[in-house]
A and B are shown apart, each in its own frame.
Chain A
Amino acid sequence: MDRRDFIKLSALTAGAAGLAGCGHPDHQLIRFLPEESWIPGVATWRPSLCPLCAAGCGVMARVMEGDAEVVRNGRTGLLRMGLVKKLEGNPAHPVNRGKLCARGQAAVQIVYHPDRIRQPLKRRGERGTGEFEPVDWDEALSTLAARLKQVLDDDPAGLAWLSRPLRGGKRVLVERFLATLAAPAPVYFELFDESVLRWANRLSFGREQMPTYTLSVANYVLGLSADFLGTWNSPVAQAIGYGEFRQGRPGRRGKFVQVEPRVSQTGANADEWIPIRPGTEGALALGLAHVLLNEARRPTTAAGTAGERIEGWLQGLPEWTPEAVAEQTGIEAERIRRLARELIAHEPAVVIAGGAALAQTNGLATALAVNALNALLGCVGALGPVRFTPQPESTGLAPPHRTLRALVQKILSRPESPVKLLLLYEANPVFATPPAWQVAAALDRVPFVVSFGSFLDDTSILADLVLPDHVFLESWMDDVPESGTEPAVVSLAAPAMRPLHNTRAMPDVLLDLSRRVGGRLNEALPWKSYEELLRARFDALARRAGADADAFWKQALERGGWWSDNGGTRAAAPRHAAATTRQIRYQPAEMDGSVEEFPFHFLPYASQAFYDGTTAHLPWLQELPDVLTTAMWGSWVELNPQTAERLGIRQGDLVDVTSRHGTLQAPVILSTGIAPDVVAMPVGQGHRAFTRYASRRGANPISVLAPLEEPETGALAWAATRVQIRRAGVGRLVLFSGGLSRFPHPEER
């Protein structure tokens, strides 16, 4: 055979292969009749809302047709349907103005996650083993309705609701559902709860809500442990303002100083980064105020109520001389004086305290001190950098951490749990609470737990019945952003795509359940669907705005919500009466563990990719290199190189991090941006169960936290634990190797 023969032969064989290799219609999946007609390959844009943090950004979903494998009437087949391909920020939305953060960009993976719960499940194996079997919706709902009736007949106090803090229509629905049944008020939980700052704002300014920081009008920003460009408050809105603050105003570049024990993503952008002893941020604020009051002769009354809240304020804070403050904070007195002078020289100046600064036992006093300082700087109000978004309805919540602890204590207080039926929705307290709170033990004692979650996580794996919710892009969505916008906003969005799986929207399930239970619920919850409830809410809003209800609704659906265009609002903005007139005395932060035995301050922080861990199941975020360390797919502990050298620890070594409450293991990353007596660790990994991408990956810093709290709000002081460190072997770090060997840029100008 020669070459020519070979080529002939190959062509022949390949041709035969070609003929043989194509599919036959009989072997292909059936195609269901589509519900909508689509122009293939042409994108449409539909508004929706990002559900991943409290900022409440508006998104535009890019929808294109595609073939999804679905189950319909017991048959598996392909359905041509609209599929969301990409999320962009909604350009019209006042919070994020067309922009989105990394987590928001990744949110679309929630829809298509391979481990989404695809139909209702009931527990088959032992609790916590994750063994479930599918049930149909009708059976699941009858089971639940029967349980509910039984609990209500017995004692309505046996019903409990546990979820992340809700806003808008969902909050109305859930609270009315429980109130009508005479069941206890809902328990809301999230790890990074802001009740300390909200409460402080109520005491200082009569507004129990998070502030809106309008950085674009500021000339000087002093950050105190607040990661306001990454994870804190309304990060996208704040980053938009930051861009303007730096380069959006010709000839006027704002200055930014960040004070924190460890360089955060936000701190990395500061002109001046100043380390501070953890928990002493409030002392610094008082020291700065001292200089303003005494050396710059600002009148004490300039701070109004906010000043009156602070003990010693009206006397000019005599104890808080820069020298005294320097001793507490570790920042030189001269530097404190200079910072104070700069604040005055660059007005409008704003001080932003958040994150670990307020997650201390003295968090409230710190927040009040910062509020008073801001009030003294005159930056609070309609034209200053600190504003309060008008709220169309009440924002106050019972302090979440305290209410969760009360629920747990109630369950554990008696040999038999008084809570008989627990409804669980989008909260993962088993993961996100310190071990001493005993949340897992408590939930384990509740005879029947129902989860509405889309995924099995550390908490919902304990459920007896899982009634999976649609994910956000498949749902009617609404939200009332608390901050990050000047005009009042009520966001609204219709489903951007039909549900991929056999799931049902949680609000619709509650309404269905109400009809099954009947009685008073029928009158209290007259809506047939959540859509109807939202329509009723928007009709009320339209009446207040004096608009035609149909046009108002239609416009809101097109734009992604309602907001007052002129910046003002006619919506009622409730001001809270000052709850107390007493003064608060700043106390040093209490830390768990002695300095001798536990020499390091343990600083967990909200992770750029996973925030509080709720997005750890998304592969795009697992493979997102952390911007400061380049680490992916795991946990790490940040340690100062001098400390590491002293302890004989090198980069990548595995260490035991031990507190009085537990031990965890993680590899070390050396960082020159952390104080020698501090170790820091991102929150988010270390889930016992959370899909194939996050289960048993890395370690959970919350698992070693002490249960200290801020006494007035009961908020967990998650930055108040001391630890010891010991080398435990060789660890494994996955770092993103791409990179240039040196800063590839001429010197700064």
Chain B
Amino acid sequence: MRWRRLVLRLFLAVATALLTLGLLLGWWDSAAMDTDGTRQASPVFTPERPSLGAAVRDFFGIQPEPERQPIAFTHKVHAENRIDCTSYCHTGAAVGPVAGIPGVKQCLICHRTIATDHPDVEKIATYEERDEDIPWQRVYGYPAPAHVKFQHAPHIRAGVNCSTCHGEVEQMTVAVRAVELNMGFCVDCHRQHKASVECIACHY
């Protein structure tokens, strides 16, 4: 029927317009985003999405690709030198919920003496001089509205390899997201290993 198609088209047009607007707003807003997704300039913290774009992304479960890292850190070289993932750099993984990303101080434990003339290592020293830490960009993570409480330590204790969720990082130069950590991925593995698949095992 013609009028129904008309209504449908009108709806689609409006929806498209809104999404485009979201795109624009999302771009426009990006300048002022905090690491936790809230606007830096805002005097309040709120779970509200900072832009329509962000809301759309969350709805479709789209995670932005990791941003260019401030230092072209190569995992490969460090792995070849037999530096264990969780003993030196991602120390939180073995004992706590969050793996953690090393900062200037941890880097400089070795790099005060090792490869000090490498341009990227010089960059680290410059950060230290400026009293700044390295603004690493997140590669993995869950959007806040997923309400996921992932804990690294129990997975490590259960003998899950880092590569299961993070890919062959030791072969990577700058880390990329090799595994899409969606709920299907988690639940498959939990089922295989007879771990809990209750909602509240992860969502609370």
Taking Cβ atoms with an 8 Å cutoff, the residues of A that contact B are 1, 6, 9-11, 13-25, 27-34, 37, 39-42, 67, 72-73, 77-78, 80, 114
Q: Which residue of A lies closest to B59 (CB)?
A: A14
> Which of A24, A67, A72, A73 is close to B67, meaning CB atoms less than 8 Å apart?
A24
Cβ-based interface call for B131 (8 A): yes
18 contacts between A and B (CB under 8 A): A1-B12, A14-B62, A20-B26, A20-B53, A21-B26, A21-B29, A21-B57, A22-B67, A23-B33, A28-B33, A28-B135, A31-B134, A33-B103, A33-B132, A39-B91, A39-B98, A42-B92, A77-B132
Contacting residues, chain A, for B27 (C-beta < 8 A)? 17, 20-21
Contacting residues, chain B, for A37 (C-beta < 8 A)? 105-106
CB distance from A692 to the nearest CB of B (A): 11
Given A22-B67, A27-B33, A40-B98, check contact A33 B104 (CB 8 Å).
yes
> Which of B19, B40, B131 is close to A14, meaning CB atoms less than 8 Å apart?
B19
Given A19-B65, A39-B100, check contact A10 B19 (CB 8 Å).
yes
**How far apart sit A22 and B60, CA to CA, in the bound complex (Å)?**
15
Contacting residues, chain B, for A33 (C-beta < 8 A)? 103-105, 127-128, 131-133
> Which of B31, B63, B98, B103 is close to A18, meaning CB atoms less than 8 Å apart?
B63
**Given A23-B67, A39-B92, A39-B96, 9 other A-B contacts at CB below 8 A?**
A9-B16, A18-B63, A18-B64, A23-B31, A25-B70, A32-B131, A33-B133, A37-B106, A67-B36
> Which of B12, B26, B134 is close to A17, meaning CB atoms less than 8 Å apart?
B26
Contacting residues, chain A, for B103 (C-beta < 8 A)? 31, 33-34, 80
Q: Which residue of B lies closest to A27 (CB)?
A: B31
Given A6-B12, A33-B105, check contact A11 B96 (CB 8 Å).
no
Contacting residues, chain B, for A31 (C-beta < 8 A)? 103, 132-135
A10 & B135 in contact (Cβ 8 Å cutoff) = no
Contacting residues, chain B, for A41 (C-beta < 8 A)? 92, 96-98
B135 & A25 in contact (Cβ 8 Å cutoff) = yes
A19 & B64 in contact (Cβ 8 Å cutoff) = yes
Contacting residues, chain A, for B29 (C-beta < 8 A)? 21
**How far apart sit A78 and B63, CA to CA, in the bound complex (Å)?**
24
Contacting residues, chain A, for B106 (C-beta < 8 A)? 37
Contacting residues, chain A, for B20 (C-beta < 8 A)? 13
**How far apart sit A348 and B109, CA to CA, in the bound complex (Å)?**
66
**How far apart sit A22 and B96, CA to CA, in the bound complex (Å)?**
27
Contacting residues, chain A, for B59 (C-beta < 8 A)? 14
**How far apart sit A331 and B34, CA to CA, in the bound complex (Å)?**
66
- Chain B contacts with A in 1-41, Cβ cutoff 8 A: 9, 12, 15-16, 19-20, 22-23, 26-27, 29-36, 40
CB distance from B16 to the nearest CB of A (A): 6
User: What 6 pairs between A and B have smallest CB-CB spacing?
Assistant: A21-B26, A22-B64, A17-B53, A20-B27, A40-B98, A41-B97
Contacting residues, chain A, for B68 (C-beta < 8 A)? 25
A42 & B95 in contact (Cβ 8 Å cutoff) = yes
Cβ-based interface call for B169 (8 A): no
Q: Which residue of B lies closest to A11 (CB)?
A: B60
CB distance from B155 to the nearest CB of A (A): 14
Contact with A along B58-93 (1 / 0, CB 8 A): 011011110110100000000000000000000110
Cβ-based interface call for B119 (8 A): no
B135 & A32 in contact (Cβ 8 Å cutoff) = no
A17 & B23 in contact (Cβ 8 Å cutoff) = yes
Q: Which residue of B lies closest to A67 (CB)?
A: B35
**How far apart sit A77 and B34, CA to CA, in the bound complex (Å)?**
11
Given A18-B64, A20-B30, A33-B133, check contact A40 B100 (CB 8 Å).
yes
B19 & A22 in contact (Cβ 8 Å cutoff) = no
Contacting residues, chain A, for B12 (C-beta < 8 A)? 1, 6
> Which of B16, B60, B64 is close to A21, meaning CB atoms less than 8 Å apart?
B64
**How far apart sit A300 and B31, CA to CA, in the bound complex (Å)?**
83
Cβ-based interface call for B121 (8 A): no
Cβ-based interface call for B173 (8 A): no
B96 & A13 in contact (Cβ 8 Å cutoff) = no
**How far apart sit A25 and B31, CA to CA, in the bound complex (Å)?**
9
**How far apart sit A22 and B128, CA to CA, in the bound complex (Å)?**
26
Cβ-based interface call for B43 (8 A): yes
Contacting residues, chain B, for A16 (C-beta < 8 A)? 23
Contacting residues, chain B, for A9 (C-beta < 8 A)? 16, 19
Given A20-B27, A23-B33, A41-B98, check contact A15 B16 (CB 8 Å).
no
Contacting residues, chain B, for A24 (C-beta < 8 A)? 30-31, 67
Q: Which one of A27, A41, A42 has the greatest number of beta carbons of chain B within 10 Å?
A: A41
CB distance from A71 to the nearest CB of B (A): 13
CB distance from A435 to the nearest CB of B (A): 36
**How far apart sit A15 and B56, CA to CA, in the bound complex (Å)?**
9
**How far apart sit A40 and B102, CA to CA, in the bound complex (Å)?**
11
CB distance from B67 to the nearest CB of A (A): 6
Contacting residues, chain A, for B54 (C-beta < 8 A)? 17, 21
A14 & B56 in contact (Cβ 8 Å cutoff) = yes
Given A28-B35, A114-B43, check contact A17 B135 (CB 8 Å).
no
CB distance from B120 to the nearest CB of A (A): 15
Cβ-based interface call for B163 (8 A): no
**How far apart sit A24 and B135, CA to CA, in the bound complex (Å)?**
10
Cβ-based interface call for B137 (8 A): yes
Q: Which residue of B lies closest to A75 (CB)?
A: B131
Contacting residues, chain A, for B64 (C-beta < 8 A)? 18-19, 21-22
A22 & B16 in contact (Cβ 8 Å cutoff) = no
**How far apart sit A78 and B40, CA to CA, in the bound complex (Å)?**
11
A80 & B133 in contact (Cβ 8 Å cutoff) = yes
A30 & B132 in contact (Cβ 8 Å cutoff) = yes
CB distance from A31 to the nearest CB of B (A): 4
**How far apart sit A72 and B43, CA to CA, in the bound complex (Å)?**
19
CB distance from A140 to the nearest CB of B (A): 25
A13 & B33 in contact (Cβ 8 Å cutoff) = no
CB distance from A350 to the nearest CB of B (A): 46
Contacting residues, chain B, for A23 (C-beta < 8 A)? 30-31, 33, 35, 67
- Chain B contacts with A in 91-129, Cβ cutoff 8 A: 91-92, 95-98, 100, 103-106, 127-128
Q: Which one of B36, B70, B128, B137 has the greatest number of beta carbons of chain A within 10 Å?
A: B137
CB distance from A54 to the nearest CB of B (A): 34
A13 & B132 in contact (Cβ 8 Å cutoff) = no
Q: Which one of B51, B104, B135 has the greatest number of beta carbons of chain A within 10 Å?
A: B135
**How far apart sit A80 and B135, CA to CA, in the bound complex (Å)?**
12
**How far apart sit A19 and B65, CA to CA, in the bound complex (Å)?**
7
Q: Which residue of A lies closest to B13 (CB)?
A: A1
> Which of B15, B67, B92, B133 is close to A40, meaning CB atoms less than 8 Å apart?
B92
Contacting residues, chain B, for A72 (C-beta < 8 A)? 131
Q: Which residue of B lies closest to A5 (CB)?
A: B12
Contacting residues, chain A, for B16 (C-beta < 8 A)? 9-10, 13
A18 & B62 in contact (Cβ 8 Å cutoff) = yes
CB distance from A693 to the nearest CB of B (A): 14
A15 & B62 in contact (Cβ 8 Å cutoff) = yes
Contacting residues, chain A, for B15 (C-beta < 8 A)? 6, 10
CB distance from B180 to the nearest CB of A (A): 14
Contacting residues, chain A, for B31 (C-beta < 8 A)? 23-24, 27
B133 & A32 in contact (Cβ 8 Å cutoff) = yes
**How far apart sit A43 and B84, CA to CA, in the bound complex (Å)?**
25
Given A16-B23, A20-B27, check contact A25 B67 (CB 8 Å).
yes
CB distance from A42 to the nearest CB of B (A): 4
Contacting residues, chain A, for B35 (C-beta < 8 A)? 23, 28, 67, 78
Contacting residues, chain B, for A80 (C-beta < 8 A)? 103, 133
CB distance from B5 to the nearest CB of A (A): 10
CB distance from A29 to the nearest CB of B (A): 6
Given A14-B62, A17-B23, check contact A27 B30 (CB 8 Å).
yes
Contacting residues, chain A, for B9 (C-beta < 8 A)? 1
A21 & B135 in contact (Cβ 8 Å cutoff) = no
Q: Which residue of A lies closest to B152 (CB)?
A: A41
**How far apart sit A31 and B131, CA to CA, in the bound complex (Å)?**
8
Contacting residues, chain A, for B100 (C-beta < 8 A)? 39-40
**How far apart sit A10 and B18, CA to CA, in the bound complex (Å)?**
10
Q: Which residue of A lies closest to B11 (CB)?
A: A6
CB distance from B134 to the nearest CB of A (A): 8
Given A21-B54, A33-B105, check contact A42 B96 (CB 8 Å).
yes
